[in-house]
Amino acid sequence: GENVEQHPSTLSVQEGDSAVIKCTYSDSASNYFPWYKQELGKRPQLIIDIRSNVGEKKDQRIAVTLNKTAKHFSLHITETQPEDSAVYFCAASRGRYSTLTFGKGTMLLVSP
Amino acid sequence: EPEVTQTPSHQVTQMGQEVILRCVPISNHLYFYWYRQILGQKVEFLVSFYNNEISEKSEIFDDQFSVERPDGSNFTLKIRSTKLEDSAMYFCASSGGTAGDSNYGYTFGSGTRLTVV
């Protein structure tokens, strides 16, 4: 089955800095890669996703890149703000309705 | 914005008891899922459900677990005889499947925190 590795497990940055979280996946049939933000005690919320037919997608301060050959994808957050502090999970699946396999999460702490 | 609704938000049960977790998926979605998250760990897949039957299940989803869509709106997860290790946050999710649906991806509910004592 699919295995998703996520690094780092914790990331501390100063407000205004950029943050990068990286994930690798094992299943070459995976073609959908969402990123979720989870605040303490709350549901995972989709913040951005990318399909395998594109290499990069951007939404304001958030961007995701995908390298299918190397089987890795990354989340980039620019101009970080304290409200970006949360746990971020990457995930991979074989399609829009298929099982999501999650990484172990990255706790991002943005200090003012 | 449409939401996935879960009840109860918190359930405490004694070991060996049966629990039913309830979910109301987004009304025009066709695919339904249960995931769980043990405190401090990653989200893990349990089961997916489509067209009134299980489409996929994980190793976690053993004979103690069952799912049902008893009517046109509810989707339930039953744990027949709870164990201490079943303590977790259980998330329901749904995803779209209608023609022309551009909403790619899941919507998660707010979760039910199950505590087995």
- Secondary structure of B33-77 in HEC code, one letter for each residue: EEEEECCCCCEEEEEEEECCEEEEECCCCCCCEEEECCCCCCEEE
CB contact under 8 A, B44 and A102: yes
Residue to test with chain B: of A4, A30, A37, A43, most B Cβ within 10 A: A43
- B47 to chain A nearest CA, in Å? 8
Q: Check whether A95 has a pLDDT greater than 70.
A: yes
Choosing among B23, B41, B106, which should be mutated to test the A contact, i.e. which has the most A CBs within 10 A?
Answer: B106
Q: How confident is the model at residue B103 (pLDDT cuts 50, 70, 90)?
A: low
Of A44, A96, A103, the CB nearest to B108: A44
Query: Which range among A33-37, A89-93, B32-36, B48-52 shows the weakest confidence by mean pLDDT?
Result: B48-52
- Residue with more model confidence, B71 or A77: A77
Instruction: Read off the pLDDT band of A76 (50, 70, 90).
Output: very high
Residue A110: pLDDT band by 50, 70, 90 thresholds?
A: very high
CA distance B26 to B5: 8
Provide the β-strand partners of residue B43. B37
Is the predicted pLDDT of residue A93 greater than 60, yes or no? yes
**Averaged pLDDT for residues A41-57:** 90
Determine the pLDDT at residue B98.
59
Contacts of A51 in chain B (CB under 8 A): 104
> What three-state secondary structure class fits A80?
coil
Partner residue facing B43 (CB), from A51, A98, A102: A102
Would you state the pLDDT for residue B57?
95
pLDDT value, residue B73: 86
Mean pLDDT of A27-32: 94
B33, B45, B91: residue with CB nearest A43:
B91
Interval B75-96 mean pLDDT: 95
Where does the pLDDT of residue A96 fall: very low under 50, low under 70, confident under 90, or very high at 90 and above? Answer: confident
Q: What is the mean pLDDT of residues B1-24?
A: 95
* Whether residue B101 has pLDDT greater than 60: no
**Kindly report the CA angle at A86 between A45 and B101, in degrees rounded to 5?**
15
What mean pLDDT do residues B71-97 have? 93
